[in-house]
Amino acid sequence: MADQKRPISVLRNLWPYIKPYRMRLFAALAALLVTTAINASIGQGLRVVIDQGLIAQSLEVLNQALIIMVAVVVVLAVATYLRFYWVTSLGEYVTADIRRSVFRHLVTLHPSYFEENRSGEIMSRLTTDTTLLQSIIGSSVSFALRSFLTMLVGIVMLLITNIKLTAIVLLSVPIVLLPIIIYGKRVRELSKSSQDRIADVGTYAGEIIQQMKVVQSYHRQDFENQAFNTEVDAALDVAKARIRQRAALIAVAISLSFIAIGFMVWIGGRDVMTGAMSGGELAAFLFYAVMVAMGVASISEIIGELQRAAGATERLMELLAVESDIQSPQAPLAPNFNAPTHVSFDQVNFSYPSRPNEKALNALTLAIARNETVALVGPSGAGKSTLFELLLRFYDPQQGSIAINQVDVREQSLADIRQHIALVPQQPVLFSADVWHNIRYGNPNASDEQVLAAAKAANAHEFIERLPEGYGSYLGENGVRLSGGQKQRIVIARAILANPELLLLDEATSALDAQSEHLVQQALEKLMQGRTTIIIAHRLATVKNVDRILLLQDGELKAQGSHNELMQSSELYAKLASLQFNEQATPEKPDLDQKVVANSSI
């Protein structure tokens, strides 16, 4: 995907990123002019040395020529250093800025964007595409300019030196270059598919590395080796074909160039013999002819590069052009933090964008008072977690409205909504950093003492202390170094530290053993006081103490009331509850009951 051809004009979109560094760009161009002028003057120097030094046998001219040459080389070296430095650093600065703005944009996008687009794809834009731009802005563009200038200057100098020979060169250059350009295109295509194959090898290895325990537990190492070999062989085959083509290309290019030079020497030599041209002129002429030919050859190469850069630019611009579906309104309304109704849903219909025909919530209407504790129960897939996602405004409903503090969430700023909510999700999410970082994610300004207090309240302090480096222990990618229950307690500590007005607990204690659950439960009960809490609960113990239970099924609110009321009024609730009682009645079969519990979140 990294190499689709695009019109080079797409590169215009890069100008806003280059503009802040335009002084650097102009300085590089100035240095480029200097180096090109010097290159051009070398041909003239050659002519003087041959005609007035060698042929006139003047040692003095030869000495002078050497001194001038040394001086010119020093200037050339300085100008080359500056050109290279300015252009390459320009590429680095511009790429860094593009990376920053892509990332800044990514974190504002609506969550469903990340469901519709593979993370590997997005990552490759941020890394591969920007790296491609970096190498192209930082070198190819300067190379292209240099080649172009060299070619122009070379042609002018050719004309000044000898018009008849110039005509021959201008006719023969295309004849020599045409096969090289056509062949070069094939080599480029092969090199693209070679890169794709190498990407396949990387993807394959990446997946196996991530799933190493599954591979080894099924003892599939030999099978994976075989499969990986196939991938590597495919990449090797494409690479071999490309190298063969490339080698042939180089051979053809070298032969054609030398034949052309020989032809010119032959024609020019005859002019030198008849006295129509001096030896020095011929030497200078050959010098410029080679200069022009190299310029033309590299331009044809660079056009391919620029097309790749255009592809990368277009993909980055596409990504930057994606508008978030979820945005703060222009003029947000201030929420009223004393409103008696904290949360309300009014006739909410909602389908996930990826499943437009399936209603995750169906005409859902409910209201939750400030400081009330409410439990959501219902079978798996009922829409309980979805309700939380809508409260955080990760999605907007297709119909109906959701209000927090009696103001529609679409009329409040996202910051106002989310700053006052803490979610403990069904799957705990940890960052690959230490415990401090992970708990403090709930409140970056919290003191160490506050972090410790939150960890203690979440019953996490003891096990954290026992980690090799305590709170400074690195937890690994998504907390691989912790058990499920430990992860959950860290995430609960994070929510405690955030001290939200509205606390959303999504089966927050499901991965805990009975003993830690009891402890965390007590902590949560303290935490729930003085704030509004919605718990998606999977154990009866949690449900019994709440103010009200809402029973959801198929995205609809089926019944609500206290435990006892629901036992009377709802057949579904009674059924779900009886499964729970069975669990408590038959503790000797915990495995079986775990599964039942997982399927009926009550």
The token pair at 558 is 């089926």
Cβ neighbors of 472 (< 8 A, separation 6 or more) are 434, 435, 436
Residue 342 one-letter amino acid: H
CB of 484 to Mg ion, least distance (A): 16
Three-state secondary structure along 455-506? HHHCCCHHHHHHCCCHHHCECCHHHCCCCHHHHHHHHHHHHHHHCCCEEEEE
**Which of ligand ADP, Mg ion, none has residue 115 at its interface (CB below 5 to 8 Å by kind)?**
ligand ADP
Q: Are 458 and 526 in contact (CB under 8 A)?
A: no
The rounded radius of gyration (Å) of the Cα atoms in the chain is 36
β-pair partners for 423: 504
Q: Which is nearer to ligand ADP, 43 or 378 (CB)?
A: 378
Interacting residues with ligand ADP between 336 and 355 (CB under 6 A): 352, 354-355
- Is there binding between residue 443 and ligand ADP (CB under 6 A)? no
> For the window 155-194, what string marks contact with ligand ADP as x by the rule CB under 6 A?
----------------------------------------
Neighbouring C-beta atoms of residue 396, cutoff 10 Å: 14
Identify which range of 125-133, 156-164, 383-391, 547-555 contacts Mg ion by CB under 5 A: 383-391
- Is there binding between residue 360 and ligand ADP (CB under 6 A)? yes
Residue 511 one-letter amino acid: A
Identify which range of 55-63, 348-356, 381-389, 395-403 contacts Mg ion by CB under 5 A: 381-389
The one among 63, 221, 255, 380 contacting ligand ADP by CB under 6 A? 380
CB of 115 to ligand ADP, least distance (A): 6
Q: Which is nearer to ligand ADP, 147 or 386 (CB)?
A: 386
CB of 424 to ligand ADP, least distance (A): 13
**Which of Mg ion, ligand ADP, none has residue 282 at its interface (CB below 5 to 8 Å by kind)?**
none
**Which of Mg ion, ligand ADP, none has residue 355 at its interface (CB below 5 to 8 Å by kind)?**
ligand ADP
Chain centroid to CA 87: 25
CB of 210 to ligand ADP, least distance (A): 22
Distance set, CA 99 to CA 133, 186, 202, 523 (Å)? 11, 32, 23, 43
**Which of Mg ion, ligand ADP, none has residue 463 at its interface (CB below 5 to 8 Å by kind)?**
none
What are the start-end ranges of the H helices in 107-140? Answer: 111-116, 119-124, 130-135
Question: Which residue is at the shortest CB distance from Mg ion?
Answer: 385
CB of 380 to Mg ion, least distance (A): 7
- Is there binding between residue 599 and ligand ADP (CB under 6 A)? no
Q: Which is nearer to ligand ADP, 143 or 352 (CB)?
A: 352
- Is there binding between residue 383 and ligand ADP (CB under 6 A)? yes
Nearest to 552 by CA among 507, 602, 508, 502: 602
CA atoms within 13 A on the CB side of 105: 19
Q: Which is nearer to Mg ion, 385 or 570 (CB)?
A: 385
Alpha-carbon distance of 478 to 142, in angstroms, equals 43
Q: Are 375 and 535 in contact (CB under 8 A)?
A: yes
Q: Which is nearer to ligand ADP, 162 or 386 (CB)?
A: 386
Identify which range of 292-300, 379-387, 520-528, 581-589 contacts ligand ADP by CB under 6 A: 379-387
The token pair at 444 is 């970056």
Strands 421-424 and 502-506: parallel
Interacting residues with ligand ADP between 110 and 129 (CB under 6 A): 115
Identify which range of 250-258, 384-392, 478-486, 554-562 contacts Mg ion by CB under 5 A: 384-392
Q: Which residues of 462-491 are buried (b: 16+ CB within 10 A; e: fewer)?
A: ebbeebeeebebebeeebeebeebbbbbbb
- Is there binding between residue 510 and Mg ion (CB under 5 A)? no
The 3-state DSSP composition of the chain as helix, strand, coil percent (nearest 5) reads 70, 10, 20
Q: Are 602 and 543 in contact (CB under 8 A)?
A: yes
Nearest to 385 by CA among 332, 424, 416: 424
CB of 414 to ligand ADP, least distance (A): 19
Q: Which is nearer to ligand ADP, 282 or 391 (CB)?
A: 391
CB of 554 to ligand ADP, least distance (A): 9
Residue with the two structure tokens 């394959």: 204
- Is there binding between residue 465 and ligand ADP (CB under 6 A)? no
CB of 388 to Mg ion, least distance (A): 8
Residue with the two structure tokens 């790296």: 131
Alpha-carbon distance of 6 to 314, in angstroms, equals 8
Q: Which is nearer to Mg ion, 382 or 497 (CB)?
A: 382
Q: Which is nearer to Mg ion, 304 or 397 (CB)?
A: 397
Cβ-count burial of 337 within 10 angstroms (0-12 exposed, 13-18 middle, 19+ buried)?
exposed
CB of 252 to ligand ADP, least distance (A): 56
- Is there binding between residue 385 and Mg ion (CB under 5 A)? yes
Nearest to 74 by CA among 30, 35, 29, 33: 35
CB of 381 to Mg ion, least distance (A): 8
CB of 361 to ligand ADP, least distance (A): 8
- Is there binding between residue 400 and ligand ADP (CB under 6 A)? no
Q: What is the largest CA-CA distance in the chain?
A: 120
Q: Which is nearer to ligand ADP, 165 or 409 (CB)?
A: 409
CB of 505 to Mg ion, least distance (A): 11
The one among 36, 140, 385, 542 contacting ligand ADP by CB under 6 A? 385
Helix (H, G, I), strand (E, B) or coil at 381: coil
Q: How many residues bind ligand ADP (CB under 6 A)?
A: 13
**Which of ligand ADP, Mg ion, none has residue 381 at its interface (CB below 5 to 8 Å by kind)?**
ligand ADP
CB of 377 to ligand ADP, least distance (A): 9
Contact positions vs Mg ion (CB under 5 A) = 385
Contact positions vs ligand ADP (CB under 6 A) = 115, 352, 354-355, 360, 378, 380-386
